[in-house]
Structure 1
């Protein structure tokens, strides 16, 4: 078996021309472990990784490492990490450290962070801190330094390294500072102070200048919630347009059993965050999980009315209607939306109604309406129609729909083929390579 690091990276990044991880899991769930083993030996990275993990769980560590050996031999960093994580999980820490040390010494750009975090997890945090210290200013490595500083007993040294960065004024973020700008430095120091139990100092840092910069609000809200500082969290929520403080306040109140208080937090009459779509979504989920489904639907209907054509809002509304057994409510809104658009709705919005129609009128009616849409025969409509069919136990028909657009829907098609036991057909679909072009 010949594998190439560049090809592996391309497949892992694009999920193209290979068996993706979700379908590897599907093969294993359907009892096709032998297929996964075979494909692991034929250059299928996700099969190799799943097979190695399975072998490890069965105590067959040498075979697991052998399955990954050709991939690791390419020098591909993802494979090196996978082997190191397996070794660490098996308690073979020194071996994990050694293989990552070799890549770090070879200058791999991602190896130092992984290596130092691995050292810190296994009693060598001071060594990790020393290795990271010269790289303060490189964002991810500085974050790693802060993370290992406590175990190394060098938190004050980390703060001293970060303080000069708090004076930096960006002239062209992120190029002028590598992403470690003034705000990032302040947030990292605040993290250290909170970890030390110096909560007031952490809060003061995140409120630098008497106001809370947008980039600090999420961290501040989470800190106040962790510390149970309800009064300060309420004050932060009053003028927080980002919604982070409102969300943390509501979560804290719900956790304490004050569901009404959490609902009120989202419904603040004068709080701009309470009127945003994200906060409305959180409020709707809160209401739904506390048995107030009709109110949840009403909340999202108001958002949908105010954001005509915003597909994610309409999608959430429709899902809520399905969950609450009220498909007619979702359809009524979608029909009103269609009427406002002159009766013409593009597929991006139209498909959302299909599960609602299926719930109210049956799958056949939903499919008939889908096919009557001007875009109902397109490649991007096919997965929605196939999902309806498969959900009704009509997987063969789902496959027939997708086979008409196999190239564009290869993963969906292969998944249904696996469900039908047609594994060879599924592999042929997934591993189809584009034709070579002549010079």
Structure 2
């Protein structure tokens, strides 16, 4: 284990990635996760185990898990150990472990991390002081707002944010785009709101919107959401009735639904579609109808957009909420109004196969893959996944063992864990070294000028 190895794991989700670590922990295999961290140098295992141990108050044991990683000097592990120490009440040790030197204080990234640690330790003024030299960075101002929430430091936050909000307004007046202050108006309104100065926040953003002094659409959306939160529906309706309707009408309709005025919200959106058949209106209404269990109505509303291009296509937004509801998903896919995704017909085959598998109809699902093999990078692994989805774990495991490839072993891991064979799953999963070696072989393949491989698979 060394810094290079750990950096590769973190940037490539190498070894056992967080999702698989969580699967082991959900099935009660904490000791196995700890052993993988110790014996295989699995960073995400160490991170996951430490979190579980901290939640149960076993801070000393969490530090033991983290110690070999800390010993490498890897900064990410040092920060993780500092977090454990802080949660254990050993504040000074936590801060001393990662306290930035002068070079570190010049880095907004280091200061952000240390400021968050200081804030968690209750040293909010020190945290703010650390961020002050970097508040010219938009994302640092967001961190400032987050760490001061509920800390009785709103006036100080406003003093640091307001000059940037005024700079944004000047840039708009002068017709300039100034990215460095593009979020400052929203942050100013957010702090005013939580400080109890709601009317001032609404008045400030309202004037900005009326005078077209918004560097980004986010300022307009923030204003609409602010009006909705505080029940200013007449003002929100007026805002949604003008030039900003495409951006704001959905927020008005959402506000109506939150207040139980569901039919009114539907009427508002149907009237909008009748006057201006914009895809966003149909997307909102079809989603709302689906939430209300009205799948047929949702399909009818979305149908004109089923053949539109990419992000405007309205089929996928209906499919995704139904991925864990296979009976309704299959109903949608077999509905006479449903047409294939434009230029992406393979998506429909994929969804249909897994809907069938989710209903336990594995052979029919596999038949879909066999009839349409092109969309699948490796139909053999897909076949095993369908068997697993259908609940036939033994057959899925047998398929994957026979394949024996790197990807098959990764898939086999999850099947074995679900079968209660976690130790075998760990042994089957490729190690970090194997994954890095395979990645190096891939990287060494000669490429064409366009970046694609000269050798199969292209």
How far 1:400 sits from its partner (Å)?
A: 4.5
- For residue 221 of structure 1, what is the aligned residue in structure 2? 224
Cα RMSD (Å): 3.7
For 1:144-166, what per-residue CA distance to the aligned partner results, in whole angstroms no more than 9, with x for missing partners?
A: 33445673342452245425633
- For residue 298 of structure 2, what is the aligned residue in structure 1? 296
Distance 1:324 1:138 in 2: 49
Question: Does structure 2 retain, via aligned residues, the 8 Å contact 1:85–1:96?
Answer: yes
Aligned ranges for residues 100-139 of structure 1 at < 5 Å? 100-102=98-100, 106-107=104-105, 109-139=108-138
- For residue 38 of structure 1, what is the aligned residue in structure 2? 35
Distance 1:415 1:211 in 2: 53
How far 1:40 sits from its partner (Å)?
A: 1.3
Q: Are the structure 2 counterparts of residues 320 and 129 from structure 1 closer, same or farther at C-alpha, using a change threshold of 3 Å?
A: closer
- For residue 157 of structure 1, what is the aligned residue in structure 2? 159
Tell me which moved more, 35-44 or 260-269: 260-269
Q: What is the aligned length?
A: 423
Aligned ranges for residues 311-390 of structure 1 at < 5 Å? 313-318=314-319, 325=328, 327-333=330-336, 336-337=339-340, 346-358=345-357, 362-375=361-374, 378-382=376-380, 384-390=382-388
Structure 2 unaligned segments of length 5 or more: list them.
445-458
Distance 2:190 2:63 in 1: 38
1:192 alignment partner, SS class: helix
- For residue 77 of structure 1, what is the aligned residue in structure 2? 75
Q: Are the structure 2 counterparts of residues 157 and 309 from structure 1 closer, same or farther at C-alpha, using a change threshold of 3 Å?
A: closer
Give TM-score scaled by structure 1 length: 0.80
How far 1:141 sits from its partner (Å)?
A: 2.2
How far 1:218 sits from its partner (Å)?
A: 2.1
Distance 1:268 1:312 in 2: 21
- For residue 448 of structure 2, what is the aligned residue in structure 1? none
Q: Are the structure 2 counterparts of residues 161 and 76 from structure 1 closer, same or farther at C-alpha, using a change threshold of 3 Å?
A: farther
Distance 1:274 1:409 in 2: 47
Distance 2:338 2:248 in 1: 36
Q: Are the structure 2 counterparts of residues 163 and 392 from structure 1 closer, same or farther at C-alpha, using a change threshold of 3 Å?
A: closer
Question: Does structure 2 retain, via aligned residues, the 8 Å contact 1:309–1:349?
Answer: no
Distance 2:334 2:46 in 1: 46
1:41 alignment partner, SS class: helix
Question: Does structure 1 retain, via aligned residues, the 8 Å contact 2:306–2:313?
Answer: no
| 1:210 maps to 2:208 | no
For 1:168-214, what per-residue CA distance to the aligned partner results, in whole angstroms no more than 9, with x for missing partners?
A: 579997xxx6x523x32322322333333333443344342623742
- For residue 246 of structure 1, what is the aligned residue in structure 2? 249
How far 1:133 sits from its partner (Å)?
A: 1.9
How far 1:71 sits from its partner (Å)?
A: 1.8
1:19 alignment partner, SS class: coil
Aligned ranges for residues 20-99 of structure 1 at < 5 Å? 20-42=17-39, 43-99=41-97
Question: Does structure 1 retain, via aligned residues, the 8 Å contact 2:349–2:368?
Answer: no
Distance 2:358 2:44 in 1: 37
Q: Are the structure 2 counterparts of residues 126 and 379 from structure 1 closer, same or farther at C-alpha, using a change threshold of 3 Å?
A: same
- For residue 19 of structure 1, what is the aligned residue in structure 2? 16
Tell me which moved more, 146-155 or 244-253: 146-155
| 1:417 maps to 2:416 | yes
| 1:399 maps to 2:397 | yes
Distance 2:348 2:404 in 1: 21
Distance 1:157 1:112 in 2: 20
Question: Does structure 2 retain, via aligned residues, the 8 Å contact 1:243–1:274?
Answer: no
Q: Are the structure 2 counterparts of residues 288 and 336 from structure 1 closer, same or farther at C-alpha, using a change threshold of 3 Å?
A: closer
Aligned ranges for residues 175-194 of structure 1 at < 5 Å? 179-181=179-181, 183-194=182-193
Distance 1:105 1:29 in 2: 41
For 1:397-437, what per-residue CA distance to the aligned partner results, in whole angstroms no more than 9, with x for missing partners?
A: 32344453833455433211332316335444331332577
| 1:144 maps to 2:143 | yes
Give TM-score scaled by structure 2 length: 0.78
| 1:257 maps to 2:256 | no
Structure 1 unaligned segments of length 5 or more: list them.
none
Distance 2:201 2:311 in 1: 39
1:151 alignment partner, SS class: coil
Distance 2:381 2:243 in 1: 40
Q: Are the structure 2 counterparts of residues 211 and 119 from structure 1 closer, same or farther at C-alpha, using a change threshold of 3 Å?
A: same
How far 1:126 sits from its partner (Å)?
A: 2.6
2:112 alignment partner, SS class: helix
